[in-house]
Structures are given as structure tokens and as C-alpha cells.
Amino acid sequence: MDGKDCLDTDINLGEFYAQLPQLRETGNLPTISSPSISDYLEAYRELGKKVRSILCVTYSSRLGMAYNAATQAKEMVKGELGKVTIEIINSGTCCGAQMLIALEAAKAAAKGKSLSKITEMANNMVTKVRQIFMVEDLYYLAKGGRIGKARHWASSTISTKSLLGLDASTGGVIVPLARAKTKTKLMEKMLEIAKEGNRSKKLHAVINHANVPHEAEELKEKLLSHFDCAELYVTPVLPLIAIHNGLGCIWLAWYGED
């Protein structure tokens, strides 16, 4: 960005959101890259000084090279970290859904569960968590090459908002779900999908958004009115997600307690 490499966690989010429309108009969108092997090596070595086991939960291996890099780094530090054990989970998703998997793993670790038990539980969570998201237009996903099976929608001349899915049930790739002229209609569809199989269950959910806090709050209130929520988090997306989805995107991830 502006000729410099930077972590998306180091960028001022408000300033970035304000710049993004102009960056699109000038064709100067920032480029992004996955965490490198050296990034994971550094993390493993630092953690290996103080822990006996490491669980790494990456975003979908179909979206980038993070899972492969994490796996290669694991092989490279074999024998270097003594008795430290490393397990890697391909979440098949990203954003809030990835967060829910990591949170459940952290809760299990806090209860003293073994790494093998935590890994088993996390892999089970991968199959349970669902995630859907709406975007204002598909320009950003198409330009970034992450559009998956919704590519045919990107070439449409019809002006609509799009609802997409991304989790283990979609094979870790983005799939098209619905289109509508308004986000209100798509928000209703989001609730309809979330209700499938979860009407009587406690819901654990995460809402992510790109610079639309009022719309995220509206979705939160709708969820609270339809579900008994054990957990419900609302957070803005970091620049990397905004670059791939544009401002105004809203993500909803959830799973229902058994």
C-alpha cells in the first residue's frame, strides 16, 4: 500500500475505510499476500519458548496459502522445539466463523483439555459452523480472484446486492446464495438461513462488517429477537477483508448448541 508492506492490523481502520473508494476509482487497490512460512516459523519459535502445544487455525486453504505455509513451517521446526507439539486446522472459512472455531478451542484449552482432544473438537467445529455474507457489488471479489462459484454473477448487468456462503459445507470456496435490490431483503434471507435447524438451539454468532455499524447493529437486534444467543459478537473487518469485499459488506457466522 503506497509502495510499502504493512500488516493489516497496523493500518488505521477509519482512515483506510475513507480511502478505499478513491483507491478503487484510481485502480490503485492495495495488494495482499498470505502469511509466509517465515511468519509461521517466527510464531512457532516464539510460542515454543513458553508452551508445550500449539494449535493453529487458518482460513480456508481454498482462499490462499496460509494453511500450506503453516504446514510447511511445522515440518521445518520438527526437532527444533523439543517436545512442543503443533497441530494445524484448515477452518474451511474465515472471519467470524474462523473466530468461533478458535474460541471454542481456547475454551477447551482453558479447561485443561489435551491437544488431541482440542484438535478433535476443533475439527468437529469446522463441520458445524456456518457463514454467509452480503456485498454491495462483486467488483472487489472478482478483482481479487476470490469470487469462487459466484463468477457468473459478477458479469451480470443487473444492479443487485449479493448474498454468498463460505464454510466447510461449501467446500471452503465462495458460493452464490441469493440476490436482491436491497440489503434489507438479504438480511431477511440471512435470518431465514440461520433459522434452518437452529430454531430451538442456543446460538453462538459473530457479525463482521466493513464500515456499516448501524446495519450490523440492526442485524444483531434481529438475531436477538429470533434466537436465544449464548454468544454474539460484532466487530469491524480488517483492511484485507475490505479489499476483497468492498465497503458495506456484512458477514454472519454461527452455530447452534447441540
pLDDT digits (tens, 9 = 90+) for 201-216: 899 999 999 999 999 9
Q: Do the beta carbons of residue 59 and residue 98 sit within 8 Å? A: yes
* DSSP helix/strand/coil, 93: coil
User: Within the chain, which residue ranges are assigned CATH 3.40.50.10440?
Assistant: 37-128
**β-strand pairing of 85-90 with 53-58:** parallel
CB-based contact 229:87 (threshold 8 Å):
no
Q: At what angle do helices 213-226 and 183-195 cross, to 10 degrees?
A: 30
**Fold of the 37-128 domain:** Rossmann fold (3.40.50)
Q: Which CATH architecture has domain 129-256?
A: 2-Layer Sandwich (3.30)
Residue ranges with strand state E in the chain: 53-58, 85-90, 130-135, 161-165, 175-180, 202-209, 228-236, 250-256
What is the bridge-based pairing of β-strands 175-180 and 202-209?
unpaired
CA distance 123 to 71: 16
User: Is the pLDDT higher at 185 or at 159?
Assistant: 185
How large is the average pLDDT for residues 219-232? 96
CA distance 154 to 139: 7
Range(s) of the chain covered by CATH 3.30.1180.10: 129-256
Name the residue among 217, 16, 233, 245 with its Cα closest to residue 135.
245
- Model pTM above 0.85: yes
pLDDT of amino acid 113: 97
Share of the chain above pLDDT 90, in %: 78
Query: Which region among 100-104, 110-114, 145-149, 223-227 has the lowest average model confidence (pLDDT)?
Result: 145-149
Tell me how far apart the terminal alpha carbons of the chain are, to the nearest angstrom.
45
pLDDT tens by residue, 48-57: 999 999 999 9
Q: Which pLDDT belongs to residue 132?
A: 98
